[in-house]
Structure 1
Amino acid sequence: MLDALFSVLIALWNQDFSVLQSPESAIMIYTVVGALIFLESGFIPAAPFPCDSVVVLSGTLAAVGVLNPIVVLLLICVCAALGSWAGYLQGTWLNRLPKVQGWVKAVPKNRMQQVDSLLGKHGLIALFSARFIPVVRSLLPLMMGMRASQVNKFHYFSWLSAILWTLLLCSFGMLLPMLPEAVSKYITAALMAAPVITLCVALSSLLVIKLRRVAAKPEPQSVRDDL
């Protein structure tokens, strides 16, 4: 069981259609795809997972008859929406922790008012847009769980964005078999690399900001007096 699961996971990563097109692999593919989409949608450590390419590849497998198109569409939609809900719940839970509340209280009131205003006016639309951006789609639901309270609207935009995201990428995947094999492999490889590149850019940006803050920190008074 575990060996079959890992073999399907490796085949998805390597786009090994000789393994994926095996009829007995279908149930394992559904399991792996659903788990990847759920984890990447709701948990920041899973952000580098190449879920965009997995959704595209699922559409391709549905187009060639390995997967059932209706089943795979429903599976990805439900797992993506539930993953966002899991991220939202993490935000509400983290917001109750004394240490996190201390961090929030340390932020100036005018800054927190700006954050609340932005989340109230644009947060739900941002959630819709974030579904199409690797890393961000797992981060924003958590932030909204910490700062937003419009649960009904959250669910509305979460499910709507999950449906459109799934339809767009699966439809694209269904069109890939019509392209030359070399072109389709390059496109899928680019989609797989996108989340890793996005994460590296985000970490690099945070590091640069941190270094700039350290460099801009004023010298101690005693040092200036000695000079």
Structure 2
Amino acid sequence: MLDSMLSVLFALWNQDFSILQSPGSAALIYSIVAVLIFLESGFIPAAPFPCDSVVVLSGTLAAVGILDPIAILLLICVCAALGSWASYLQGTWLNRLPRVQGWVKAVPANRMAQVDTLLGRHGLVALFSARFIPVVRSLLPLMMGMRASKVNKFHYFSWLSAILWTLLLCSFGMLLPLLPETMSKYITAGLMAAPVITLCLAIISFVILKVRKANTKQVAKVEVVQK
């Protein structure tokens, strides 16, 4: 069973349709796609998972008849929304910790009011935009869990953004078979690599900021000593 799951997972990564078309692979594809979407949408450590490209590839598999279009659309929508809900619950739990509450209380009240207003007015746009950005996809619902007071409004934004995200990427995937095979493979490969590249850039930027901050403090200490 594990060997079959690994072979399907590698086939998804390498776009090996000969393996994906084998009998019995459809059930494994549904399971793997569901797990990847849920984990990447709900847990920050799963950010490197190439979920955008998996959704696009799922649309392609539906277009060529390997997957059922309605079933895969519903599966991705539900897993994406449930993943965001899991991230939201993490935010509500973190908000109960004394240290986190101290950080929140340290922020000026007017700033927190602005955050609440932005989340209320632009929740759908924010969640929809975050769906396309690794880390932010699971980080924003977590922040909403720490700040949003109306759970019903979060569910509305979460489910609607999940539906729009799924329809957009799956529709794009369904159009890929109409393109030349070489071009469609390059596009899918680029989508696969995009989350890893984005995460690496974020880590590099974070390290650069830390190094600059440390250098600034060191220079300030030297100037104080010289005075």
Q: TM-score w.r.t. structure 1 length? A: 0.91
- State the partner residue of 2:81: 81
Aligned residues: 227
Cα distance in structure 2, aligned partners of 1:175 and 1:136: 27
Following superposition, which runs of at least 4 residues in structure 1 exceed 3 angstroms of deviation? 105-124, 218-223
- State the partner residue of 2:138: 138
Q: CA deviation at 1:73?
A: 0.7
Q: AA paired with 1:8?
A: V
- State the partner residue of 1:159: 159
Matches within 5 A, 1:82-97: 82-97=82-97
Corresponding residue SS for 1:23: coil
Cα distance in structure 2, aligned partners of 1:222 and 1:139: 38
1:212 maps onto 2:212 in alignment: yes
- State the partner residue of 1:183: 183
Cα contact 2:84–2:141 (8 A) shared by 1 = yes
In structure 2, relative to structure 1, the CA distance for the partners of 1:193 and 1:100 (3 Å cut) is same
| More displaced stretch, 75-84 vs 129-138 | 129-138
Corresponding residue SS for 1:49: coil
- State the partner residue of 2:42: 42
Corresponding residue SS for 1:5: helix
Cα contact 2:47–2:135 (8 A) shared by 1 = yes
- State the partner residue of 2:122: 122
Cα contact 2:123–2:157 (8 A) shared by 1 = no
- State the partner residue of 1:104: 104
Q: Please give the per-residue CA displacement for 1:65-122, whole angstroms capped at 9, x wherever unaligned.
A: 1111111111001001101111101111111112222333344555545444443443
Q: How much is the aligned-residue C-alpha RMSD, in angstroms?
A: 2.1
Structure 2 portions without partners, runs of 5+: none
- State the partner residue of 2:9: 9
Q: TM-score w.r.t. structure 2 length? A: 0.91
Cα distance in structure 2, aligned partners of 1:219 and 1:55: 49
Cα contact 1:55–1:170 (8 A) shared by 2 = yes
